[in-house]
Amino acid sequence: MKKYLTLFIGSIPFFSVIASRLSGHLPVKWWMGTDALTMWAMPPGKSKTLVLLHRIKMRLLKPLIFQHWVTGPRLLEDLEKSGTLKMDEVLVAYWPGKYHTISEKKQHDGFNILYYDPLDTEFQRWKYGIDIIAKIKEQVSDVNWIKADGTQDMKELYTITDLYIRPSRHDGEPRINVECKVNRIPVIYSEDGNPSVEQFVKEINLIKKNRHDPSLKQ
């Protein structure tokens, strides 16, 4: 009898995993940034009760889950830190991104910097470093800021973007990072989850200065 994988992305319904097992399927949990982080931390704006229930649920479901996937090393560190999983129990599977072809660049005035602001909860804005971006804006001049909030046509935005910044405090391997690299747009990203305003400003100014240097294209 063939067995099929049932992929659960992000939040995972308790009884859906049980039903998957009873039907002979193999549940796979693909951990996202928020649910991995809340296994050990209490992020701002999150309900303490809901976070604790999430931790209990995931520990109860662990024996039923066939495989665990994460989108990057940072999430794996979170799960190890929480004692939820060990490194050899997790597969790292990167998001492929939605746009796999290079968008044709459009002529535009000035230097355009793209950033992501979900305009969502306090937690989301903390996670993506929106307060850090505000400080960066104060120190970087002569640029155009383009805000992506999840409602725009990203493929169109990539045609006029010169640089993408993501001073996030917590992430896996963001899809926009992947897509920008496909589109040869330089990316400045806080790999360690501890974004530095000074470092971002320094790198932005360097890329602005050398914007026509092909070696800086990713």
CB 179 within 8 A of CB 103: no
CB 164 within 8 A of CB 186: yes
Residue spans of the domains in the chain: they are 4-93, 111-212
Cα 11-22-80 angle, rounded to 5 deg: 40
What architecture is the 111-212 domain classified under in CATH?
Answer: 3-Layer(aba) Sandwich (3.40)
Strands 163-166 and 67-70: unpaired
Per-residue pLDDT of the chain (218 residues; tens, 9 = 90+): 567 889 888 778 899 999 999 999 999 998 887 888 888 888 887 889 988 999 999 999 999 999 998 877 778 888 888 888 888 888 876 665 666 677 888 988 899 999 999 877 788 888 889 999 999 999 998 999 999 988 888 999 999 999 999 998 887 667 888 889 889 999 999 877 789 999 999 999 999 988 755 554 44
How far lies 105's CA from each of 59, 146, 154, 160, 180, in Å? 48, 16, 13, 6, 12
Instruction: Say how far apart CA 196 and CA 189 lie, in whole Å.
Output: 10
Strand partners, 29: 8, 68
Q: What is the pTM of this model?
A: 0.75
Residue 29: CB atoms within 10 A of its CB come to 25
